[in-house]
Amino acid sequence: MEKKLRVGILGATGMVGQRFVALLENHPWFEVVTVAASPRSAGKTYEAAVGSRWKMATPMPDAVRGLVVANVNEVDKVAESVDFVFSAVDMTKAEIKAIEEAYARTETPVVSNNSAHRWTPDVPMVVPEINTEHFEVIEAQKQRLGTSRGFIAVKPNCSIQSYTPCLAAWKEFGPKEVVVTTYQAISGAGKTFKDWPEMVENIIPYIGGEEEKSEQEPLRVLGKVENGEIVKAQLPKISCQCVRVPVLNGHTAAVFINFEKKPTKEQLIERLAGFKGFPQEAGLPSAPKQFVQYLADDDRPQVTLDVDYEHGMGVTIGRLREDAIYDFKFIGLSHNTVRGAAGGAVLCAETLTAKGFIGHK
């Protein structure tokens, strides 16, 4: 790309916002020109507004340190400085819905990490290796909003990324029943051990709203476009329990699965190894070369060894074996703030750019 696209980050001072800032350092297509957050941070430099809250393992990029933080609520002012925005604000669902739509109406595409619009019928919710064809509904959304280039696209919840790629890769065998337990990292709540000491040596068997998302969102990703709306898939039936565990980054999932047509273990592993989509075919900058890796060792995947596979953009599966009650069981692992949040959204934005939905204003 000759001239980089100008990017704004809404919620730039938070955990996911910081991840966007870190991932976009030296991005070949996108340049962060505007960082926006709550009125508490507005007017300060990014460095001062974040202060001791910087949670990334790499230093804060020099290019953003001195940027003066804008107020997310000053929509026109932020919108006029950028070609599109990433959204990672933490407000009420109704407020997020309204503000993301307000940005779209200024002809500014919004690629969101938030859940507010995940069930808006004409808003695509995309894992780019699985369902880029859902971006088709953007045309219907633009008609509803009365825009020519403004729209909202979202990525799904972090919890589903450790097992949904398998459901897509194994589609030909008809996954029909799935029972999942997720073991979710504390960064998924925007926290580190420093600001959540109660999580050290602890397990909490409840994450608000997460079980419903984990059961329902894969069905929307596996759904299809009909008359300008996304219609969710009917199968598989998914039952999920979500547990918070003392891990900083990385959501693990323990999964049991039944199929319409029971495959062999070898077939399942072969389909995972061969599974790829638009990001790999188009060679997008953030695309993992191998989206899903299968590890045969009995003690993998492990969070500390495997969470950063493909820079956190790949998914690791292991322990696939036949089960006494279900057809098979396995373990999945993905990075919740990279593939599951900011990285997944960056890959969506790259896909939207490659497909011509996002360009210079």
Binding of ligand NAP at residue 33 (CB under 6 A)? Answer: no
| 166 interacts with ligand NAP by CB under 6 A | no
Q: For the window 89-128, what string marks contact with ligand NAP as x by the rule CB under 6 A? A: xxx---------------------xx--------------
Number of residues that bind ligand NAP (CB under 6 A): 26
Query: Of residues 184-243, which lie at the interface with ligand NAP (CB under 6 A)?
Result: 187-188, 190
Torsion angle (degrees, nearest 10) of CA 259, 262, 264, 270: -40
Whose Cβ is closer to ligand NAP: residue 56's or residue 225's?
56
User: Out of 117, 166, 240, 251, which one is annotated catalytic?
Assistant: 251
Q: Does 17 bind ligand NAP (CB under 6 A)?
A: yes
Q: For this structure, is 158 an active site residue?
A: yes
Span interacting with ligand NAP, options 36-44, 136-144, 319-327, 348-356, rule CB under 6 A: 36-44
Applying CB under 6 A, the span of 38-46, 77-85, 171-179, 314-322 interacting with ligand NAP comes to 38-46
Report the chain's terminal Cα–Cα distance, integer Å: 15
Q: At closest approach, how far in Å is the CB of 36 from ligand NAP?
A: 8
**Out of 21, 32, 75, 158, the residue judged to bind ligand NAP by CB under 6 A:** 158
| Binding range to ligand NAP, per CB under 6 A, among 121-129, 281-289, 320-328, 333-341 | 333-341
Pick the catalytic residue from 134, 158, 240, 335: 158
Integer Cα distance of 80 and 266 in angstroms: 53
Q: Does residue 167 touch ligand NAP according to CB under 6 A? A: no
| Rounded CA separation 249/162 (Å) | 13
Complex with ligand NAP: residue 334 or 337, whichever CB lies closer: 337
Are the CB atoms for 253 and 181 separated by under 8 Å?
yes
Binding segment for ligand NAP (CB under 6 A), chosen from 211-219, 224-232, 319-327, 332-340, is 332-340
Of all residues in the shown chain, the one whose CB is closest to ligand NAP is: 14
Using rule CB under 6 A, residue 15 touches ligand NAP: yes
Q: Is 240 one of the catalytic residues? A: no
- Considering the rule CB under 6 A, would residue 40 count as an interface residue with ligand NAP? yes
Binder among 141, 286, 337, 353 for ligand NAP (CB under 6 A): 337
Tell me: does residue 341 bind ligand NAP (CB under 6 A).
yes
List Cβ neighbours of 21 (8 Å cut-off, separation of 6 or more). 9, 12, 32, 35, 46, 56, 60, 61, 64
Strands of 30-37's sheet in order across: 70-71, 30-37, 5-10, 84-87, 110-112, 152-154
In terms of Cβ atoms closer than 10 Å to its own Cβ (0-12, 13-18, 19+), residue 5 is buried
Closer residue to ligand NAP, CB minimum distance, 19 or 271: 19
Q: Give the per-residue contact string, 52-91, with ligand NAP (x = CB under 6 A; - = no).
A: --------------------x---------------xxxx
Does 16 participate in binding ligand NAP (rule CB under 6 A)? yes
Exposure on the CB side of residue 29, measured as CA atoms within 13 A: 17
In the complex with ligand NAP, the residue whose CB is nearer, 162 or 187, is 187
Active-site residues: which are they?
Answer: 158, 251
The residue ranges that bind ligand NAP (CB under 6 A) are 11-17, 37-38, 40-41, 72, 88-91, 113-114, 158, 187-188, 190, 336-337, 340-341
